[in-house]
Amino acid sequence: MSIARKHRSSFLWGLSIFLGSIMATSGLPTNVQAQTSPSSGNAMTVRSDIQEANSRTGVITARGNVQVNYPARKIQATAAQAQYFSRERRLVLSGNVYVLQEGNSMRAETMTYLVDEGRFIATPQANQQVESIYLVTDPEATSSDPVKVPPSPSLNPQP
């Protein structure tokens, strides 16, 4: 089998699983039966107002109220648009992106998730910043110690 045919075949198989899972969760009636495989627990579900897939380029585009759920990596995300580049195994989220993973979160205008590396790359809007909130445990703190919050400084102190 040629490399191009092999890529096309794996893309179409992946697309059928992807679209099958979307149709199964969308509430729309369907006669498509999703294939099951050992890796089906690693499915990434994308919900949106509109989706299109290009078998020639291997790009799946979702637009409008995009919601991504990737249980294998405990990732949930929302965005205005998502593009999954199946050949590179890369997900690009754009437009008011919010990602939540195990309690940690990030906000950005654009975020790229490299599936094979498990890595996010976030970029802000012009003259803005990316915001990340990480849950950090203090190994020296014990659960029985009361939390002491220092008094907040005044935001606009009087001279």
Tens of pLDDT along 17-56? Answer: 444 444 444 343 333 333 334 455 689 999 999 999 999 9
What are the DSSP calls for 16-72, one per residue?
HHHHHHHHHHHT----------GGGGG--EEE-SEEEEETTTTEEEEEEEEEEEEGG
Which CATH fold topology does 3-133 show?
lipopolysaccharide transport protein A fold (2.60.450)
- For the whole model, what pTM was predicted? 0.64
66-92 pLDDT per residue, tens? 999 999 999 999 999 999 999 999 999
